Amino acid sequence: MRFPQTDGQTMTLTLEQASILLDFTKKLDINLLDNVVGFMYTGEGAMQKMAQEVLTHLKEHPDAWTRVDTILEFSHSQSTKYYALQILENVIKTRWKVLPRNQCEGIKKYTVGLIIKTSSDAESLEREKVYLNKLNMILIQILKHEWPRNWPSFIGDIVGASRTNESLCQNNMVILKLLSEEVFDFSSGQMTQVKAKHLKDTMCSEFSQIFQLCQFVMENSQNAPLVAMTLETLLRFLNWIPLGYVFETKLITTLIYKFLDVPMFRNVTLKCLTEIALVSVSQYDEQFILLFTLTTSKLKEMLPLDTNIRQAYANGQDDEQKFIQNLSLFLCCFLKEHSQLIEKRQDLNELLHESLHYLVMISEVEETEIFKICLEYWNALAADLYRESPFTASTSLPLLGQPKTETPQRRALYNPVLSKVRLIMVGRMAKPEEVLVVENEQGEVVREFMKDTDAINMYKNMRETLVYLTHLDYTDTERIMTNKLYGQVNGTEWSWKNLNTLCWAIGSISGAMHEEDEKRFLVIVIKDLLGLCEQKRGKDNKAIIAANIMYVVGQYPRFLRAHWRFLKTVVNKLFEFMHETHDGVQDMACDTFIKIAQKCRKYFVQVQVGEIMPFIEDILNQISTIICDLQPQQVHTFYEAVGYMISAQADAVAQERLIEKYMQLPNQAWDGVINQATKNVEVLKDEDAVKQLGNILKTNVRACKALGHPFVVQLGRIYLDMLNVYKVLSENISAAIALNGEQVTKQPLIRAMRTVKKETLKLISGWVGRSNDPQMVCDNFIPPLLDAVLIDYQRNVPAAREPEVLSTMATIVNKLESNITNEIPQIFDALFECTLGMINKDFEEFPEHRTNFFLLLQAVNSHCFPAFLVISPLQFKLVLDSIIWAFKHTMRNVADIGLQILYQLLQNVKQDETAAQSFYQTYYTDVLQHMFSVVTDTSHTAGLTMHATILAYLFTLAESGAIVSPLDPTNASQSNVDFVQQYVANLLKAAFPHLSDPQIKITVQGMFNLDQDITQFKEHLRDFLVQIKEFAGEDMTDLYLEEREGALLTAQQEKRRMQLMVPGIINPHDMPEEMQD
């Protein structure tokens, strides 16, 4: 190993020499350590690797921390000092509890001394910033163990020291800020609940000393960096300190008068004022009004009302741009929480309008993050005003002769500003997911392939806001949109961007108007857009206009259902667009067609006024002309759409005739290939023929998806031929693999053959899943299927086995339930062991087989459990082993399925008394042991609720006497409860020797005491995991992963419930069928 040395020579070093660092009987060679660290950062290749290995071993040595003081004192390298601090941090995080008390005190004193020494003068404070930050973090780690019990005077000490020296004070502010973050922001899951609460209470009770220090600095110090740091620290405190410190002191006025207009402090000050504005209590109304009036008055001096904020932002420095963003946050937070206070006071109305004026101006800034902040406020305001008097069928435009309803008072107050917001929303509308034709950065019109999730979320929020704004004043929305449309038609405002945002806005308010108004408005819109399509020349123009027409009509199924002439015109226009080869137009035409077909299906199979036959007949007559320019995947979409129409035909005979006509084209092609193959089976080795079969089957899959059970007439027609093709292609694939090895599966021909097999299985499972006559399926469709599929799967090489075989069997079991129980042994013989052999080597290989295998197991366990009682004990053990294997997976979906199967299995077993007792004797302790191994494994914390549920169930079984025979045959006199308690205690003691006996005793006792209350049981389990992890020094935030996910789901469901109550908020295509009209 060669090290660059300071004098220009190069020093070489062998691994033996570097390893001297690991010999703790010798004095530490600081120069050698400096060189090794230097080499780790600047060396390369094998040498760098060697340096890294030596340093890792040194860091992990149990006595490494005893050398930290020597390194910090004598090393000349910042990197080495930083490395020493990492060693120190490691010992504090993982071994603090087992260090002798005097050593803990020594480390504590040493760390404090170092911090004071490094931060006592301004120059070293700046120079040693990174090093000092690490030292501060180490002190925080110590405090989490020591304060307040072993270091009750800490707050007093740090406040006292701060009054002696400004540089020291500045760093102490950093420490207090970090402590606040650790205790109030990051404590969940990092420490037990009891400990976190204790630290919070201590910090609140001692806060007066900290507050006096902050106040003292803010009032007296001339040291700008210190004041800035104090404000930053105060900002962290503001979300938890007792409210008296905020509202019963001079804090608000000091912040506004002293710091708000000082450029260096204005951003952090505004953030502090925003934190205060977020407080939601009623006893400080006067102070909130003061906060608002003083801040807005100061604002008018700093940023006059006539400033063009959009331009100011575009030309501003970074700091000025941040100020505008912070200003939007302050105004939005204050008005959201406290606008009612301001609204009540007549004398403050002008100030309210001025602050809203600022927000409107800020909403025009070309910066997405800032717009999102404003959008959230406009959304909340519009929703709030709407809820005061929601939409009813009679609140639309008054009919002639009826008195006009009075505008609610609050709505009248906000009306002038809401009109400006409507204009901004229409002008800035984000792109909906359905629009596939876009203008790229080079100004070209192209098809969009990547979905932009940010833009989709922005669209959803803007759409919701605009719907509320439309409800609040429909006439104003219509006026704005009609004026903008007029600007497009007469060319004064024509541009792709303007047309797009306008049409996206028009499409987004579907359902928010009264049906009569909607009709009048849409007739104008559709006529104008069709007119534009005729008027504009050039492919790009046409493509943009076509995309907008399709988006708008697709959003108004209610209008189309009520106006057959328009529906027919629109569908014919879509057929026209299906021949338009511009990128994206055909895709969008097919997507819009399928949406309209789903929402208006019955109108296509009825004879409409002025027509001689249903429109579906027309479509079926010219189907080959309509689809002649479409790509295969577009044809599949088209077929699914027509399938939805046919599914609306209630007369079975008429429907059967339509299906026959509908499948005529694919059936002709199918018969052609099958007839050739009957004469010469080699045809099925021709790539084009095989690809054609794949495409025909894909068409069938989509048709089946739309038609459901009635598809049986078509499936019956091709079923046996299809299974024969499956067998032949399987033999071809096996022969090719035998001849050329597994790599042959990558060849196009073999891949096309596998596509045919996959689509066959997809078609069968799709139909079975939608069928409604289990007995008929069992008698007619299952025997030939099992015959074709099972043996083929078993004798194929793993790489050629289709995972869809497993998922198809799972679908069949889930659908046919007990009807299929007798076939389960046959299915298991063919699929179970050979698949288990593919997935029991590791957790990653064959991911699809893995998931589908466990889904099949879950289906059998749920619906055909008696089949498990008749298989041999050896096979049953395999089943149980595979369930245990499932919940040990790190793939979360597999682990979750495994836990669900186990829980269901335990409940199923209990129902059968004789099976139950032998199961408990053979497997109970095994299952318990495996459960504890995943519970305490850090990569499985997401399954905590299920872990708790299963463990509580197992303990309940022992406690309730459900287990009759003794679990420990060697000691029959011992009760099962005592045995289980002892067994679990021994298990935990062996796995976690650092836990004390009382800790383990409390843990086990608690599990028995709480086994009837899953929530409490889970908290108890989590506290136990925190104790384990605390020792190992691991991150604990993931222990709360499940809660976070659960809270999100509940919030989502509640939001959906609220949305369904507001007409137009839910996209018409996401509406439940029964709420369409």
- pLDDT, position 1041: 52
Residues of the chain above pLDDT 90, percent: 66
pLDDT surpassing 50 at residue 401: no
Q: Is the four-CA dihedral 791, 797, 801, 806 of positive or negative sign?
A: positive
Least confident of 233-237, 534-538, 956-960: 534-538
- pLDDT, position 1044: 53
A 10 A CB-CB count for 216 gives: 15
> Two tokens at 73?
């004192």
Cα–Cα distances in Å, from 378 out to 306, 328, 390, 659, 1011?
Answer: 22, 12, 17, 51, 48
pLDDT surpassing 70 at residue 1032: no
The DSSP 8-state label assigned to residue 432 in this structure reads: P
SS (H, E, C) 996-1054: CHHHHHHHHHHHHHCCCCHHHHHHHHHHHHHHHHHHHCCCCHHHHHHHHHHHHHHHHHH
Residues 527, 1074: Cα–Cα separation, whole Å: 30
> Which single residue is written with the structure tokens 């021709």?
686
The 8 Å CB, 24+ separation contacts for 721-725 are: 721/670, 721/674, 722/697, 722/760, 722/763, 723/760, 723/784, 723/785, 723/787, 723/788, 724/788, 725/674, 725/677, 725/684, 725/693, 725/756, 725/760
A 10 A CB-CB count for 384 gives: 15
Return the amino acid letter for 1036: M
- pLDDT, position 392: 63
Residues 911, 664: Cα–Cα separation, whole Å: 53
Residues 143, 984: Cα–Cα separation, whole Å: 34
A 10 A CB-CB count for 1033 gives: 15
Least confident of 78-82, 139-143, 983-987, 1063-1067: 1063-1067
> Two tokens at 426?
């229409």
SS (H, E, C) 72-135: HHHCCCHHHHHHHHHHHHHHHHHHHHHCCHHHHHHHHHHHHHHHHHHHCCHHHHHHCHHHHHHH
Name which of 287, 296, 224 is nearest 260 in CA terms. Answer: 296
Residues 10, 3: Cα–Cα separation, whole Å: 6
Q: What is the per-residue pLDDT across 583-632, written as a single tens digit (0 to 9) for each?
A: 889 999 999 999 999 999 999 999 999 999 999 999 999 999 999 999 99
Q: What is the per-residue pLDDT across 976-992, written as a single tens digit (0 to 9) for each?
A: 999 999 999 999 999 88
Q: How confident is residue 397, by pLDDT bands cut at 50, 70 and 90?
A: very low
- pLDDT, position 424: 97
Residues 732, 753: Cα–Cα separation, whole Å: 9
Residues 418, 510: Cα–Cα separation, whole Å: 20
Average pLDDT, rounded, for the chain: 90
pLDDT surpassing 70 at residue 1: no
A 10 A CB-CB count for 738 gives: 10
- Average pLDDT, integer, range 810-826: 94
- Average pLDDT, integer, range 465-482: 96
Q: Is 727 helix (H, G, I), strand (E, B) or coil?
A: helix
**pTM for this model (two decimals):** 0.75
Q: What is the per-residue pLDDT across 84-100, written as a single tens digit (0 to 9) for each?
A: 999 999 888 888 888 88
